Amino acid sequence: MSQNPADGVHTRLLHAGSARLRDGAGPVNVPVVRTSTVRFADVETLADRHHRRSHGERIATYGRHGLALEDALCTLEGGHRAFLAPSGLSAITLVLLALLGPGDHALVSDTVYAPLRRVDQTLLQRLGVEIQYFSPAHDDLDKLIRTETRLVYLESPGSLLFDVLDLPALTTIARAKGVPVAIDNTWSGGWFLQPLRLGANISIQAATKYIAGHSDVMQGAVVVDSPALAERIGTTHEALGLTIGADDAYLALRGLRTLPVRLAQHQRNATEVAQWLQQQPQVARTFYPALPDDPGHTLWKRDFSGASGLVSFALKGSDDAAASRLVNALRLFAIGASWGGYESLALVAPPERLNASRSWQEHGNNAPVIRLHIGLEDPRDLIADLRQAFQHTIA
């Protein structure tokens, strides 16, 4: 099917990476090719393909590459080139290793996905890379950038408490200093926020979450805005031997086709649950940028086109044990650390992760926080489940 630039992004996303017609016919879905070895007619053909690949052409010489999925991700994010990795964390690590080396300095927002700190502590420090965590809401990014700063790394909204960053302001500062900006865009699924259009250079997602959408795939994705970054990240991607299986590429591409309609339902359900939580006397605060009284609501309304299914809330006058009892009492919410699938999940936020955020240090008052992923169940049933858990565990 031919693409028309005038088509809406939802339409283009449905058709991006479609299988080509051969002899006038072809499948709707891209066929899955399971192979580790590519055969060639002769030595000259192999040499020619190696030469073309070394000059940036996206063709296979060994193993398989999820080219159709890469094309669809570029359509989703408005990027130049996409790279696939075995997990969201491996996608993050790919970017860090591609852009940072001994003696380099990077600025990282303090509300990022917690495993990035583990990459810092166990790998980057050993390589002589300095990571400095900062609060975009409190610190002056312009004053923090040094001559050796090689990357600004952000996440918006931030993990657990969903702080919304002023992305255009931050990217303007970084670009003026010639420093690339990477952002973890998993919360929006790449659908509700297009950070490359707001000045970021790299968008990273755990495709495990909303892209795949069914809790059956582990995968990461990196989308870049320029040939120069594509070359740098591509070189490291190949050197690390990063690859994904053909079946995982197929499942992620299948999930991507329904991303807009799934996220719209997640938002409807999450908004209903968040509004209910706001009315509960046991809840000190509800964290969801789509709520009008959320501190990040104005920025969210300006930069985002919607909100996903993640909602957190702080319990009033309780401790971690009370939060655990509440989560254990839930019937429809599974207990799990991931999110983005069709099912609802609940998790007590680890205090050490909350305390890493300066905003929480100033306003948290040691209240335990529970993070919910609101799935595709009937929101009335989810609210009833939360109500009975409150009644049985929280006075």
Percent of the chain with pLDDT over 70: 93
**DSSP-derived 3-state class of residue 343:** coil
Closest-CA residue to 73 (of 227, 209, 228, 204): 204
What does the domain layout of the chain look like in residue ranges? Answer: 65-257, 259-393
> Where in 13-163 does DSSP place strands (E)?
81-85, 105-109, 130-134, 149-155
Place of tokens 């300066």: 358
Catalytic residue among 117, 209, 257, 285: 209
Q: Which range, of 26-40, 249-263, 296-310, averages the lowest pLDDT?
A: 26-40
Q: Which CATH class is domain 259-393?
A: alpha beta
62 catalytic per annotation: no
301 catalytic per annotation: no
Number of Cβ atoms within 10 Å of the Cβ of 14: 18
Q: How confident is the model at residue 184 (pLDDT cuts 50, 70, 90)?
A: very high
Rounded distance between C-alpha atoms, residue 56 and residue 234, angstroms = 9
pLDDT at 38: 83
Mean pLDDT of 75-95: 97
The b-or-e profile of 184-194 (16+ CB within 10 A means b, else e) is bbbbbbbbbbb
Amino acid at 142: D
Whether pLDDT at 190 is above 90? yes
Catalytic residue among 81, 113, 153, 257: 113
CATH of domain 65-257: 3.40.640.10
Closest-CA residue to 66 (of 299, 268, 245): 245
209 catalytic per annotation: yes
Catalytic residue among 64, 117, 257, 358: 64
184 catalytic per annotation: yes
CA-only gyration radius of the chain, Å: 22
Question: Each residue of 339-385: pLDDT tens digit?
Answer: 999 999 999 998 877 877 777 777 666 789 999 999 999 999 999 99
Catalytic residue among 104, 184, 225, 294: 184
Contact 58, 65 (CB under 8 A): yes
Output the DSSP codes for 204-256. Answer: EEETTTTTT-SS----EEEEESSHHHHHHHHHHHHHTT----HHHHHHHHHHH
Higher-confidence residue of 74 and 36: namely 74
Contact 324, 334 (CB under 8 A): no
Question: Each residue of 135-175: pLDDT tens digit?
Answer: 998 999 999 999 999 999 999 999 899 999 999 999 999 99
